[in-house]
Amino acid sequence: MAAIPYFEFRDFPEGSMAAVEEALLQAVRSNRYILSEKVTAFETSFAAMLGAAHAIGVGNGYDALVLALKAIGTGPGDEIIVPANTFIASANAVVQAGGVPVLVEPDRNTYNLTAAVAERAITARTKAIMPVHLYGQACEMGTLVKLATQHKLHLIEDFAQAHGATYAGKAVGTFGTVNATSFYPTKNLGALGDAGAVVTNDASIAAFVHSYHNYGETEKYHNKLIGVNSRLDVLQAAMLQVKLASLQKTNAERQRQAQLYLQKLEGVGDVVLPITAPDCSHVYHVFNIRSSRRDALKAYLQEQGIQTAIHYPVPVHLQPAYRYLGYKSCDLPIAEELAADSLSLPLFPGLREEEQLAVVKAVKEFFG
């Protein structure tokens, strides 16, 4: 069998690539390349899909996080509670907004931030809690919302990996004061380049982000704020609109593939399979397994032509860039264990069953 990629763009559902190309061609021919009605149309559709009042397209997921943090007034000394096992953007955005990331442990089973852990990290300087719906699984938002309300804190969801995931039937990205997502190409809803969005139900926050992301304009050449330029590109908006229509299908396909792995890899070697918490849905942006022999397993699969990935090899609190915060190794043992034993298997819309079965076979062979 040919090599099996960790991720590849394939025509799933069939015809979607042609539809994307057609949308791009139309956008090119529209002669309008900045904040045209294509951007507004996608913002409206994305907000409607989530059941949120407002979505504002921005340049990328990192900017979406920074703008969300600015929108709640994050400034010098403000502490934001962030899980240590996330993509670096979540923490970098806090620093960019002038705040201090307070890095904490994930839950041992779901790998997500929980209210119990967040509560222990609350101080007089805490401004917000940032749950990250890691790998595509919704965080347990019920208790997080309750905690934030009790302590009068903001919640900012980072739902870059979880478009379409739900907690108790409600879409992630709609629980926090203001929330952020990315449409990086490999995300469940991915653009053909950089793109992101800020989502909120609060009209005044939406107005702030809407102005701030376009230089702080209220009307053309009239500025109340010193804003930035982080606009969703028209071509990206046009193709995202097309891909949004099949998000349910592609998420269902990811879930179907995950079920196959879950069935076939049960009890193999010392493999730990992902666990989904009650009321939480999982859209499997990443299919993460764990093994004490992770590095050898990864090398073995590579020899068989099977690509895998590691999310993430170094937790945020041990990154050299974050040395100034003063964390040491062993401070966050669950996050550190995850970094040492996690392996992400190929899973993406269009991955074929025989390819998945070849992955399963190779994993089984490795453990003999």
Residues that bind ligand PLP (CB under 6 A): 60-62, 86-87, 89-90, 132, 158, 160-161, 182, 184, 194, 196
Token reading at 31: 């002669």
User: Which of residues 85 and 356 has its CB atom nearest to ligand PLP in the complex?
Assistant: 85
In the bound complex, what is the minimum distance in angstroms from residue 33's beta carbon to ligand PLP?
Answer: 20
**Considering the complex, what minimum distance in angstroms separates the CB of residue 248 from ligand PLP?**
21
User: Is 62 or 261 the residue whose CB approaches ligand PLP more closely?
Assistant: 62
What's the closest the beta carbon of residue 72 comes to ligand PLP, in angstroms? Answer: 17
Closest CA to 285 of 202, 171, 188, 156: 188
Q: Which residue is nearest to ligand PLP (CB)?
A: 61
Question: Which residue number, 167 or 366, has a Cβ lying nearer to ligand PLP?
Answer: 167
**In the bound complex, what is the minimum distance in angstroms from residue 271's beta carbon to ligand PLP?**
24
Instruction: Kindly state the smallest distance separating residue 75's Cβ from ligand PLP, in Å.
Output: 21
Q: Output the 3-class SS for the chain.
A: CCCECCCCCCCCCCCHHHHHHHHHHHHHHCCCCCCCHHHHHHHHHHHHHHCCCEEEEECCHHHHHHHHHHHCCCCCCCEEEEECCCCCHHHHHHHHCCCEEEEECCCCCCCCCCHHHHHHCCCCCEEEECCECHHHECCCHHHHHHHHHHCCCEECCECCCCCCCEECCEECCCCCCEEEEECCCCCCCCCCCCCEEEEECCHHHHHHHHHHCECCEEECCEECCCCCECCCCHHHHHHHHHHHCCHHHHHHHHHHHHHHHHHHCCCCCCCECCCCCCCECECCCCEEEECCCHHHHHHHHHHCCECCECCCCCCHHHCHHHHHHCCCCCCCHHHHHHHHHEEEECCCCCCCHHHHHHHHHHHHHHHC
186 alpha-carbon distance from chain centroid: 10
Q: At what angle do helices 89-96 and 61-71 cross, to 10 degrees?
A: 40
**Minimum distance from residue 242 beta carbon to ligand PLP (Å):** 19
Pick between residue 232 and residue 363 the one whose CB is nearest to ligand PLP. Answer: 232
Q: Which residues pair with 17 in a beta bridge?
A: none
Closest distance between ligand PLP and the C-beta of residue 36, in Å? 21
Residue 96 near residue 232, CB atoms below 8 Å: no
Question: Between residues 100 and 160, which has the closer beta carbon with respect to ligand PLP?
Answer: 160
Shortest distance in whole angstroms from residue 140 CB to ligand PLP: 17
**Cβ proximity to ligand PLP, 229 vs 259, nearer residue:** 229
Find the shortest distance in angstroms from Cβ 121 to ligand PLP.
Answer: 19
User: Smaller CB distance to ligand PLP: residue 135 or 208?
Assistant: 135
Dihedral angle computed from the Cα positions of residues 160, 163, 167 and 171, in that order, rounded to the nearest 10 degrees? 120
Residue 194 beta carbon to ligand PLP: minimum distance, rounded to whole angstroms: 6
If we measure between CA atoms, which residue out of 112, 155, 152 comes closest to residue 130? Answer: 155
